[in-house]
Amino acid sequence: MKMKNYQIYTLLLVGLIASCIGGKKIPLVDEEIIFFNEPYYQEIFPGQEDGQKRLLLTLPVQTFTTGNDFDSVYFHGFHVSLLRNVNQMKVEYSAKILVPNEKVEIIPPYPLTDSEALLSYTDIKGKKKLMKVENILRKEPIFQP
């Protein structure tokens, strides 16, 4: 009888731990804490056969709320780091994506269309959150010599 109680308690403990670990999903915020001025992306095709195709995502900042640290982006099946660029008092975020010949697609935590991205950031309270960016324009591709 003691062994049966031990097994039941063990299963309950394992279930409790699993539910605490596996059930946390990063929240998608509804409020926009940063606004972009015509975000866009471009495909860059290499001129040499052994070159690698790239995607360049550019998010020019119009206005933002201070205290949030944007660190990465989900876009077109990739999850990559964001770079913050400041040039002549203008701020923009960008992501350079190398597209491998055999792509393993990263599935974002929330569904996206081809003209959307998910920005991952840490808010002022230290909590990890996601924000959707919509209406990302596709500019003409660049063909390198």
Residue 98's beta-bridge partner residues?
A: 54
Give the integer Cα–Cα distance in Å for 80 and 55: 11
Is the separation of the CB atoms in 141 and 41 below 8 Å? no
Residue 139's beta-bridge partner residues?
A: none
Is the separation of the CB atoms in 57 and 97 below 8 Å? yes
What's the topology of domain 34-143?
Answer: Immunoglobulin-like (2.60.40)
Low-confidence ranges of the chain (pLDDT < 70): 1-24
Query: How many Cβ atoms from other residues are within 10 Å of residue 120's Cβ?
Result: 20
Q: What is the pLDDT of residue 24?
A: 61
Give the integer Cα–Cα distance in Å for 145 and 130: 38
Give the integer Cα–Cα distance in Å for 134 and 38: 10
Model's pTM, two decimal places?
0.79
Q: What is the pLDDT of residue 7?
A: 45
Which tens digits make up the pLDDT trace of 81-115? 999 999 888 899 999 999 988 878 899 999 999 99
Q: Which two tokens stand for residue 95?
A: 């992501």
Q: What is the pLDDT of residue 15?
A: 40
